[in-house]
Amino acid sequence: MKIRKLEKKDYGKYENFLHSIDESLLYYSTKYKDLLEEYLNVESEYALAVDEADNIHAVLPLMKKEGRFGTIINSLPFYGSNGGILTKNDNANRMLIDYYNHISKEATGSTYITNPLFKEPTEINHDMVDVRIGQWTFLGHENNLEEEVMNSYHTKTRNMVRKAMKENVQVEIDNSQMEFLYETHYENIASIGGKPKDRRFFELIEKYFQKGIDYNIYVAKMNGVNIGGVLLFYYNKTVEYFTPVVLNKYRTYQPTSLIIYQAMIDACKYGYKWWNWGGTWLTQDGVYRFKKRFGAIDKEYKYFIKLNNDNIYNSTKEELLHDYNNFYVIPFDRLKG
């Protein structure tokens, strides 16, 4: 067995390998890889462990970014995209751990973000660990879907869904509403001082992903007017809750809750197993509670961080964001600058 890099000619068998493992997520996919390469203008070096017949036994997605301090490696960058090794083969797993540890010594810094559904790796080189809580709702309902999905929710969440229904909020899939999604996302995030995804990212979704298959935009309407929406991605066994938006003056009508309810029912019909709410910081009590009440369970995942250049500790948050935008370098509270 040997390690080699993923090439375009491998995409078909690479995707077949990913779909043979239930725990593979959107972030491993070739479409997400191609989108990030263009959006972030970076190099990727996805490592494959292959046998003599060139069959894939393990994968490790990696991306690199150059900056003033040198090369930073992430598996994976951009809003905490999960990465790490994916395999069922212990020998292949060991080879990729050794490979990662080797390249992490040569880089200025590296961050290995684990997959919440997959076994946590051992012996990954790191100086520090940053912990996130992944929240996941199981979608294994098969009969009486409306009733079973509703009963999996907290009482307060059931009431929010029923309120939206009572207010005659209507939910439908409308994949022509990417512009509405972007504009409302920008307004929502900017209003709380956050960092919204920019318009180009949403444009690239339409370039690399197929609407109605890879993603859907669920839209909530009142009297024919858009009042909220949610962008969902679908990959293998998992639905990714990617971008929720709501017009502020309509929040009390609970459009997001009704969208989630309808989208979960639809996902069950198509055989999806998990609904991934994404990462939640340990300090985000309100966000955590909102997801928890939709039947979410906790699945911890970690950032294993290795730094080989002490100058990074003396840099500033602004310098790192400028040079390594969308890459994870170090927890900002560890900086001395």
pLDDT digits 0-9 by tens, 86-106: 999 999 999 999 999 999 999
Q: Is residue 282 in some structural domain?
A: no
pTM of the model as a whole: 0.95
pLDDT on residue 318? 95
pLDDT on residue 81? 93
Domain total of the chain:
2
Among 220, 255, 272, identify where a domain stops.
Answer: 272
pLDDT on residue 62? 98
Q: Is residue 277 in some structural domain?
A: no
Whether 211 and 162 have beta carbons less than 8 Å apart is answered as no
Please check whether residues 149 and 268 belong to one and the same domain.
yes
Please check whether residues 268 and 181 belong to one and the same domain.
yes
How large a percentage of the chain has pLDDT more than 70?
Answer: 99
The pLDDT of 124-134, averaged and rounded, is 94
Please check whether residues 100 and 43 belong to one and the same domain.
yes
For residue 134, pLDDT over 80 is answered with yes
Q: What DSSP assignment string belongs to 212-256?
A: TTTEEEEEEEETTEEEEEEEEEEETTEEEEEEEEE-GGGGGG-HH
Q: Is residue 251 in some structural domain?
A: yes
Please check whether residues 153 and 174 belong to one and the same domain.
yes
pLDDT on residue 252? 96
Is 148 or 120 the better-scoring residue by pLDDT? 148
294-321 pLDDT per residue, tens: 999 999 999 999 999 999 999 999 999 9
SS3 for 48?
A: strand
Q: Is residue 330 in some structural domain?
A: yes
Please check whether residues 149 and 258 belong to one and the same domain.
yes
The pLDDT of 14-40, averaged and rounded, is 97
Question: Where does the pLDDT of residue 282 fall: very low under 50, low under 70, confident under 90, or very high at 90 and above?
Answer: low
Among 250, 272, 294, identify where a domain stops.
Answer: 272
Whether 108 and 69 have beta carbons less than 8 Å apart is answered as yes
The pLDDT of 121-136, averaged and rounded, is 93
Question: Where does the pLDDT of residue 194 fall: very low under 50, low under 70, confident under 90, or very high at 90 and above?
Answer: confident
The pLDDT of 217-227, averaged and rounded, is 97
Please check whether residues 173 and 268 belong to one and the same domain.
yes
For residue 281, pLDDT over 80 is answered with no
Mode of pairing for the β-strands spanning 56-60 and 86-87 = antiparallel
Please check whether residues 22 and 124 belong to one and the same domain.
yes
Please check whether residues 49 and 108 belong to one and the same domain.
yes
- Pairwise CA distance, residues 28 & 16, whole Å: 12
- What the block records as the tokens of 212 is 């109605």
- Residue indicated by tokens 């479409």: 31
Please check whether residues 23 and 97 belong to one and the same domain.
yes
CATH code, domain with 324: 3.40.630.30
Please check whether residues 213 and 244 belong to one and the same domain.
yes
Please check whether residues 184 and 211 belong to one and the same domain.
yes
Question: Where does the pLDDT of residue 160 fall: very low under 50, low under 70, confident under 90, or very high at 90 and above?
Answer: very high
* Structural domain of 309: 2-131+302-334
Q: Is residue 293 in some structural domain?
A: no
pLDDT on residue 279? 84
Q: Is residue 214 in some structural domain?
A: yes
Please check whether residues 155 and 178 belong to one and the same domain.
yes
Q: Is residue 160 in some structural domain?
A: yes
The pLDDT of 316-335, averaged and rounded, is 95
Q: Is residue 287 in some structural domain?
A: no
Mode of pairing for the β-strands spanning 274-280 and 238-246 = parallel
Among 253, 272, 291, identify where a domain stops.
Answer: 272
Instruction: Put residue 140 in one of left, alpha, beta given phi > 0 → left and psi -120 to 50 → alpha.
Output: alpha
Mode of pairing for the β-strands spanning 70-75 and 63-67 = antiparallel
